[in-house]
A and B are shown apart, each in its own frame.
Chain A
Amino acid sequence: MKLRNLFAVVMLSGVFSLLSASLFVAMDAVDVAFTEAAVGAGISTVLMLGTMAITRQEEKPAQHSRALPFLVVLVTGGALLYGTADLPPFGALDTPVQQHVAPEYIERTPTEIDVPNIVTAILASYRGYDTLGEVVVIFTAGIAVIVLLHGSSRPRRREEDEEAES
């Protein structure tokens, strides 16, 4: 299937994001699903539409051959599928990820933090440093976008330039 209309591409990526959110719900990762639905399906789609309004709605036809990108996708996809074969079955209890620090968090959260949602206890308290890092990343990204697009003052300044030229 070929799509050159970017509006359709943006909408499809939003639908895909919503579908993966329901996939996360099926895997019992409700916090991740919540984020995916709010950020991936909601805000990203709006920002993509905003970007489209600045640029254009149709994709340019490709100038170069598609053979190399197709090969890269094929090899990467094959490697990922090959890697999946070695993964433990879904929901298995004896995987490394279930035996490392997770039992300790589950055991200690009721007495040390005493919040029913262990994800929040880990995110905000045990891994408070990580979350601070994440917030700083969002802060930096936001500042970068504001600086790059220069907020509201750009169009006004252009008008002033035109006035100065005339």
Chain B
Amino acid sequence: MDHHFILRVVAKMLMPPIMLYALYVQFHGDFGPGGGFQAGVIFAVAFILYALVFGLDSLRRVAPPAIVRAGVALGVLLYAGTGAYSFFKGKNYLDYSALADADHAVGGQHLGILLVEAGVGLTVASVMIAVFMAFAARAPEIKDTDW
């Protein structure tokens, strides 16, 4: 897609706002609609757009498959680890009030929600990028005349 000059410029311009919006959705999930699931998908969209316009090899340089695959597992680990932490603090599994002092239970809830949503976002984004990579790696290079 070397000759699609407008497409490449527009894609480059769109990527930062997409990522910024994903972060907004991630961290504003406590106040408005959104959360880790939606943010993860939106964040992955930026990478997929990059791969669609600049090719899969460029994406592999930006997001090495090994790191993406590690992200898939790390997100679940962060979520389950938050639960395990409160478990070993003597509270129920995933009871976030263990993350703060007894008189700051609400703050513990806030921190807990932040952590598990981060885990959700990491796993969802990594899975989406990894699945797209898996599909795109098998497809032959699509010529412009095929469409």
Interface set of A (CB-CB < 8 Å, partner B) = 7, 30-31, 33-35, 38-39, 42-43, 46-47, 50-51, 53-54, 112-117, 119-121, 123-125, 128-129, 131-132, 134-136, 138-139, 141-143, 145-146, 148-152, 154-155
Docked-complex contact A124 and B112, CB < 8 angstroms: yes
Q: Which of chain A's residues have a CB closer than 8 A to the CB of B94? A: 125, 128-129, 132
The one of B76, B93, B112, B142 in contact with A136, judged by C-beta atoms closer than 8 angstroms, is B76
**Residue interface mask B103-143, A partner, CB < 8 A = 1:** 00110011011001101100110111011111111111010
Docked-complex contact B131 and A114, CB < 8 angstroms: no
Which residue of A is nearest B97, CB measured? A112
Docked-complex contact B33 and A30, CB < 8 angstroms: yes
Q: Which of chain A's residues have a CB closer than 8 A to the CB of B73? A: 139
Query: Could you tell me the dominant secondary structure of chain B's interface residues?
Result: helix
The one of A53, A132, A143 in contact with B142, judged by C-beta atoms closer than 8 angstroms, is A53
Given contacts A33-B33, A47-B132, 15 further A-B contacts (CB under 8 A): A34-B25, A39-B37, A42-B41, A43-B132, A46-B132, A53-B135, A53-B142, A54-B138, A115-B31, A120-B113, A124-B117, A135-B120, A138-B124, A139-B72, A149-B137
Interface set of B (CB-CB < 8 Å, partner A) = 25, 29-35, 37-38, 41-42, 44-45, 48, 52, 60, 65, 69, 72-73, 75-76, 79-80, 83, 93-94, 96, 105-106, 109-110, 112-113, 116-117, 119-120, 123-124, 126-128, 130-140, 142, 147
Docked-complex contact A146 and B134, CB < 8 angstroms: yes
Known A-B contacts A131-B116, A143-B72, A152-B60; the reply to A34 vs B44 at CB < 8 A is no
Docked-complex contact B138 and A146, CB < 8 angstroms: no
Docked-complex contact A146 and B34, CB < 8 angstroms: no
Which residue of B is nearest A31, CB measured? B33
Docked-complex contact A152 and B137, CB < 8 angstroms: yes
